[in-house]
Amino acid sequence: MRIKEEIKRLGHFWLPSAPDRKITGTLSISDGGNIGLELTGVFEENEIEALENYNLKRIVGQIEHVGYMTLEDCSYRATVSPFGGGVSRASVSASTIFIGVGYNEAADPVFNTLAFSVEGIDEWVGLSGIKVDYQHERPSAAISYQPPEEILLNLNNDMRLLITFKWYLPSSQNAWEAKITQKTYFKLISTVERKLDDFIAVAHNLTTFLCFAVDETVCLNSLTATSDNLRFNINDTETAPAQIGIYYRSLPYSKDEPKINPRQMLFRFDQIRNDVERIINNWIKAYDQIDSALNLYFSTKTGAQQYLDRKFLALAQGLETFHRRTSDEKLMDESQFKELVAIIVDQCPKEHQAWLEGRLQHGNEISLTRRLKSIIEPFKADIGTSRQRCKLITNIVDVRNYLTHFDESLKEKMVHGRNLLLLYVKMEAIFQLNLLQVLGFNHQEIKSILKNSYKLKQKLSES
């Protein structure tokens, strides 16, 4: 999660099993969704003696300016002063925090909606309700706001996705300033209550979808949930769902904030507006088939792989995994291969047969060279001449083999510096073209993206 300014709050904290034993402490939430709690005291020993390694399921508290909160999946470390001297302290780290609710020991947090914003979503959606009317002849200007129409999509997991908009006015009246701020949100809606993990899985899919669309690593920067069964009173007759703020260490995450440039996006919302429901569902479905390949692709974008050679290896492995998950291509028919293996093993001395069977287990797999040819084939016209493509594939395979095995016989074939970078960005572009196909873009639509995406075009044209 992106948290631009660290949150620090004083409060009182306790275990749900011992609500009368309250300890003063300071809660902190920092960039990346890191949650910490420093306590000026320790929970009584008999309250935690049954817990392995001082792992606490839940801590509840009341913090300034907010009220109730709940920490989930806590790691608790106490420093107890011996013989009663000095001050005993405890440190806690937590995986998740719910702001605005204090759950009891038996409660199972479930929700009906999860609303969240993501860096770059305003630029990607590109819809604004702010209108400025200039009258140059007077001169004068009028500013008005009409929220854009919400967009409701049906997801194949029995959730609905709402693209919605919030707007804010200045908190104080200022005669020298007029300001309206609009923010775009994704909102997941479920008619049945679901655990947070169900919503987080889809929120992760949508965040990586936006990463892919804008070709930058973007992060969640706000998260609120509601439950139909957790409400507050508006007046004597009306209630409304309580807004529960949520923080956690969401992925993808990059320390550096992205610079969003519409010219460098792969595609924008207006390009897919008439087909956005199908495309987003295709992306979510892809995680059931090519999740490993997608994780390797995004590991090269988020900084998880810091060095170029490691990023190259991750991307090469990602392309290989992608083809293996999307194609059943083999060297020969499976039954024919098994028959051949049986013949070969039968001719081998018995004491070596088990070893030989292990060596032949993956013998029907096609080579990386052949996989790359298949991956490039639909886009070969955009990747150069036959000779250029052949050289590109050979270089990828040679570098992958050297970086994997460090075989001295391949050292001379290794490329370095700028040449390695150019090889890497071409691989990234090839990956992106294939993922566009997974999303359901047809050949003409991909050609249009290639024409209009300056960044993608540059990756393929660099030499």
**40 three-state secondary structure:** coil
Here the tokens at position 137 are 């002849």
Longest alpha-carbon distance in the chain:
99
> Per mean pLDDT, which range of 125-134, 194-203, 325-334, 417-426 is the poorest?
325-334
CA end-to-end distance (rounded Å), the chain: 37
Give the pLDDT score at 297. 94
Q: Residue 215 pLDDT > 70, yes or no? A: yes
399 CB neighbour count, 10 Å cutoff: 24
302 φ, ψ (degrees, to nearest 5): -95, -10
- How is residue 378 annotated by DSSP? G
CA 213-214-215 angle, 5° bins: 95
- Please state whether the peptide bond connecting residue 139 to the residue before it is cis, i.e. omega within 30 degrees of 0: yes
Name the band, by pLDDT with cuts 50, 70 and 90, for residue 173: low
Give the pLDDT score at 32. 92
Give the pLDDT score at 174. 64
d(CA 59, CA 18): 10
Give the pLDDT score at 342. 86
Give the pLDDT score at 50. 43
Residue 271's closest CA among 457, 461, 453, 130?
Answer: 453
Higher-confidence residue: 321 or 330?
A: 321
Higher-confidence residue: 248 or 52?
A: 248
Here the tokens at position 215 are 């070709």
Place of tokens 């150019």: 422
Here the tokens at position 64 are 């300034």
Given a contact cutoff of 8 angstroms between Cβ atoms, the answer to whether 1 and 253 are in contact is yes
Distance of alpha carbon 315 from the chain centroid = 17
Give the pLDDT score at 293. 95
d(CA 463, CA 459): 9
Over residues 206-211, the mean pLDDT reads 96
- How is residue 80 annotated by DSSP? P
d(CA 196, CA 206): 15
Over residues 330-339, the mean pLDDT reads 83
- How is residue 301 annotated by DSSP? T
Name the band, by pLDDT with cuts 50, 70 and 90, for residue 52: very low
Give the pLDDT score at 80. 65
Give the pLDDT score at 338. 85
Given a contact cutoff of 8 angstroms between Cβ atoms, the answer to whether 355 and 420 are in contact is no
Name the band, by pLDDT with cuts 50, 70 and 90, for residue 72: very high
State pLDDT tens for residues 367-421: 899 999 999 999 998 888 899 999 999 999 999 998 888 878 778 888 888 899 9
Give the pLDDT score at 429. 95
- Residues above pLDDT 70, as percent of the chain: 94
Name the band, by pLDDT with cuts 50, 70 and 90, for residue 84: low
Residue 187's closest CA among 286, 275, 112, 99?
Answer: 112
**462 three-state secondary structure:** coil
What is each CA distance from 300 to 8, 215, 253, 265, 304, in whole angstroms?
33, 12, 12, 18, 7
Chain-wide mean pLDDT for the chain?
89
> Phi/psi class of residue 158: alpha, beta or left (left: φ > 0; alpha: ψ in -120 to 50)?
left
What is each CA distance from 16 to 72, 105, 136, in whole angstroms?
12, 5, 64
Q: Residue 433 pLDDT > 60, yes or no? A: yes
Q: Give the pTM.
A: 0.88
d(CA 216, CA 302): 9
Name the band, by pLDDT with cuts 50, 70 and 90, for residue 51: very low
Higher-confidence residue: 53 or 307?
A: 307
CA atoms within 13 A on the CB side of 352: 9
Q: Residue 301 pLDDT > 70, yes or no? A: yes
Higher-confidence residue: 405 or 85?
A: 405
Name the band, by pLDDT with cuts 50, 70 and 90, for residue 156: very high
DSSP string, 107-171: ---EEEEEEEEETTHHHHH----EEEEEETTTTEEEEEE-PPPPEEEE-TTS-EEEEEEEEE--S
